[in-house]
């Protein structure tokens, strides 16, 4: 099938590349010329394991191209994905201006033939109908310019726009986005048009059949076919549930700390109940990233628009905000006064295997430590090497863990990067003044850290 993906951010690029890999002809569009140049040269603007290899092979096979030309993309495709960002506004509402601009742009370039317009961006509930309206506005604008250009009532200038809108939320995690796309738990498609849903099913058939999955013997991937609003709600509800699950276990961890229980054992004990499940029960310094904070706030905001106070979701957010600063409490308990102390952060990104710093707990931690007069150093396997550190203020980014440890009063594990499990903690302990390590992800081997000479402090552990 002929597919166009508009917006080559995280979601758009992964979607475009993976759809090309399963056999479709894909045009990826971005209005950032530098980014398009980079991608045309076979380079990915984001860090995602496996993505650049896949992108290069699809380009070589002639099934994937990049351009800034929206008209070209719209007119040469049957399915158009809108995958531009919907960042949170200061009040928590999503900023849909990029979706609006793209929908209008699609309208002004629609040519003959039926097209499916897919909302892949996480948009407020009700956006499906709104996108339809904006596309039609775009069509009307083009009609006006044609008439203004002297077409008059001539039927050659009459534009017939035949399209339907589908909501197709994505559930991919950063760091395993390619894997998640080929091994989905389910595919959600929402539309009020049967024809559009049929075309989408055809598009995803290779994924439903698990042709590209790690385990091809599993039963077909369940398709969840819904109306537009329900599909949009599924995305918010899934992310809000997962975020709340983490806040729940963090609250349990804080109570464990007080009563002397171990949250890692508690999580195992409750998670084995199949109604609860073991995943997303890892206590730590809280959730961050580009999705959870934005989506939970947007759902709270939507509920508020309808006069409903989403108390449980608000509590999940406030537990998360407090959780980020639990590390400060623990440092104060160990070191007493933080003014004049040096704290070394192991990890900066909001989770491992990504270069994403959006809403990373490390940012709040750095700010608070600075406010309390501590000096902050950090080492992160990706941020330290990528030159991204230039964007970070009030933190000295070191190039390796030993330089980080040198002269610190305490180390804090912020991100559970795999390589942190295998550092030479014996050597690091000789470099840290007060041999304290706060494990913000309950990730390290406590016994090994203690054998290396550290005093180990976990989160409810
Ligand atoms: C998330 C959803 O998982 C994905 O389905 C959606 O499409 C986008 O948002 P992502 O933001 O990539 O994906 O991160 P995820 O792996 O879900 O982790 C989110 C945050 O929760 C991270 O900060 C992580 O460290 C934290 N987390 C996760 C925990 O603190 N404990 C856990 O048990 C799991």
Residue 113 Rama label (left phi>0; alpha psi -120 to 50; beta): left
Atom 3 of ligand 1: nearest residue by CA position: 173
Helix (H) or strand (E) holding 192: none
How many angstroms is it from 243 CA to the middle of ligand 1?
8
| ipTM, interface predicted TM-score of the complex | 0.97
Q: In a 3-state reduction of DSSP, which class is residue 2?
A: strand
Residue 4, strand partner residues: 27, 80
Q: What is the pLDDT of residue 168?
A: 97
CA distance 165 to 134: 11
DSSP code for 396? E
Which ligand 1 atom sits closest to the C-alpha of 281?
A: 33
Mean pLDDT over each residue of the chain, to the nearest integer? 94
Residue 148 has pLDDT above 80, yes or no: no
Mutational pocket test of ligand 1: of 294, 351, 440, the residue with most ligand atoms within 8 Å of the beta carbon: 351
User: Among 9, 234, 283, 287, which residue has the most ligand 1 atoms within 8 Å of its CB, making it the best to mutate?
Assistant: 287
pLDDT (tens digit per residue) in 359-406: 999 999 999 999 999 999 999 999 888 767 667 889 999 999 999 999
Q: Given this model, what pLDDT does residue 17 score?
A: 98
CATH architecture, domain defined by 325-457: 3-Layer(aba) Sandwich (3.40)
| Homologous superfamily assigned to 2-226 | NAD(P)-binding Rossmann-like Domain (3.40.50.720)
pLDDT tens, residue by residue, 150-208: 655 555 567 778 999 999 999 999 989 999 999 999 999 999 999 999 999 999 999 99
Q: How far apart are the first and last CA of the chain?
A: 52
> Which of 47, 50, 49, 54 shows the shortest CA–CA distance to 28?
54
Q: Which atom of ligand 1 is nearest to the CA of 175?
A: 12
Res 430 pLDDT > 90: yes
A 10 A CB-CB count for 154 gives 10
Distance CA 42, CA 60 (A): 10
pLDDT above 90: residue 211: yes
Please tell me the least confidently modeled range out of 5-19, 73-87, 342-356, 377-391.
Answer: 377-391
Which residues, other chains included, contact 135 with Cβ-Cβ below 8 Å and sequence gap of 6+?
Answer: 103, 104, 106, 107, 110, 117, 161, 163, 165
Which residue ranges does the chain devote to CATH 3.40.50.720? 2-226, 325-457
**Per-residue CA distances from 7 to 14, 29, 32, 60, 110 (Å):** 11, 6, 9, 21, 18
Per residue in 302-319, pLDDT (tens digit) is 999 999 999 999 999 999
Alpha helices in 172-278 (DSSP H): 177-182, 194-208, 228-259, 263-271
Delimiting residues of CATH 1.10.1040.10 domain(s) in the chain: 235-322
Q: Which of 367, 437, 368 is nearest to 408 (CA)?
A: 437
Answer whether residue 331 shows pLDDT above 60.
Answer: yes
Residues lining ligand 1, CB < 6 A? Answer: 170-174, 239, 242, 246, 280-282, 284, 287-289, 291-292, 350-351
Cα of 293 vs centre of ligand 1, distance in Å, is: 10
- What is the model's pLDDT at position 319? 98
CATH of domain 235-322: 1.10.1040.10
- Taking residues 5-19, report their average pLDDT: 96
Segment 103-112, tens digit of pLDDT: 999 999 998 8
Average pLDDT on 328-333 reads: 97
pLDDT average, residue stretch 231-253: 98
Q: Is 58 a catalytic residue?
A: no
Strands of the sheet with 79-82, listed across from one edge = 64-67, 25-29, 2-6, 79-82, 114-119, 162-167, 187-190, 223-226
Q: Which atom belonging to ligand 1 lies closest to the Cα atom of 361?
A: 23
């Amino acid at each position: 099938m002929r597919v166009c993906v508009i917006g080559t951010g995280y979601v758009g690029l992964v979607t475009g590349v993976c759809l090309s890999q399963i056999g479709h002809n894909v045009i990826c569009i971005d209005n950032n010329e530098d980014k398009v140049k980079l991608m045309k040269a076979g380079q990915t603007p984001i860090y995602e394991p496996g993505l650049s290899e896949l992108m290069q092979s699809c380009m070589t096979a002639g099934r994937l191209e990049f351009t800034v030309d929206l008209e070209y993309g719209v007119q040469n495709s049957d399915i158009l994905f809108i995958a531009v960002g919907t960042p949170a506004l200061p009040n928590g509402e999503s900023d849909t201006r990029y979706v609006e601009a793209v929908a209008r742009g699609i309208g002004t370039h629609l040519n003959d033939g039926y097209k499916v317009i897919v909302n892949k961006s996480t948009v407020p509930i009700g956006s499906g109908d709104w996108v339809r309206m904006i596309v039609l506005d775009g069509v009307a604008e083009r009609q006006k310019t044609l008439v203004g250009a002297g077409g008059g009532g001539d039927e050659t200038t009459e534009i017939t726009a035949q399209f339907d809108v589908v909501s197709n939320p994505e559930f991919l995690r950063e760091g395993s986005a390619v894997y998640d796309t080929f091994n989905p738990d389910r595919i959600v498609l929402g539309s009020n048009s049967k024809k559009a849903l049929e075309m989408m099913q055809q598009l995803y058939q290779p994924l439903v059949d698990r042709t590209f999955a790690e385990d091809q013997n599993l039963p077909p991937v369940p398709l969840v076919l819904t109306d537009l609003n329900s599909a949009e709600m599924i995305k918010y509800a899934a992310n809000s549930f997962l975020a709340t699950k983490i806040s729940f276990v963090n609250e349990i961890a804080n109570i464990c700390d007080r009563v002397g229980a171990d949250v890692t054992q508690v999580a195992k004990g409750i998670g084995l109940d199949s109604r609860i499940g073991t995943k997303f029960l890892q206590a730590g310094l809280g959730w961050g990233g580009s999705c959870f904070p934005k989506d939970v706030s947007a759902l709270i905001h939507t509920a508020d628009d309808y006069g409903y106070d989403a108390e449980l979701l608000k509590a999940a957010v406030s537990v998360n905000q407090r959780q980020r600063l639990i590390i400060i409490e623990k440092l104060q308990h160990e070191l007493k006064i933080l003014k004049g102390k040096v704290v070394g952060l192991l990890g900066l990104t909001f989770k491992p295997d990504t270069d994403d710093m959006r809403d990373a707990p490390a940012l709040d931690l750095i700010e608070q430590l600075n406010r309390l007069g501590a000096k902050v150093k950090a080492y992160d396997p990706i941020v330290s090497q990528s030159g991204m550190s230039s964007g970070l203020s009030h933190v000295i980014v070191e190039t390796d863990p030993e330089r980080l440890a040198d002269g610190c009063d305490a180390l804090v594990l912020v991100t559970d990067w795999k390589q942190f499990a295998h550092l030479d903690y014996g050597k690091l302990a000789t470099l840290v003044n007060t041999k304290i390590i706060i494990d913000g992800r309950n990730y390290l081997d406590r016994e090994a850290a203690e054998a290396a000479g550290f005093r180990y402090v976990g989160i409810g552990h």
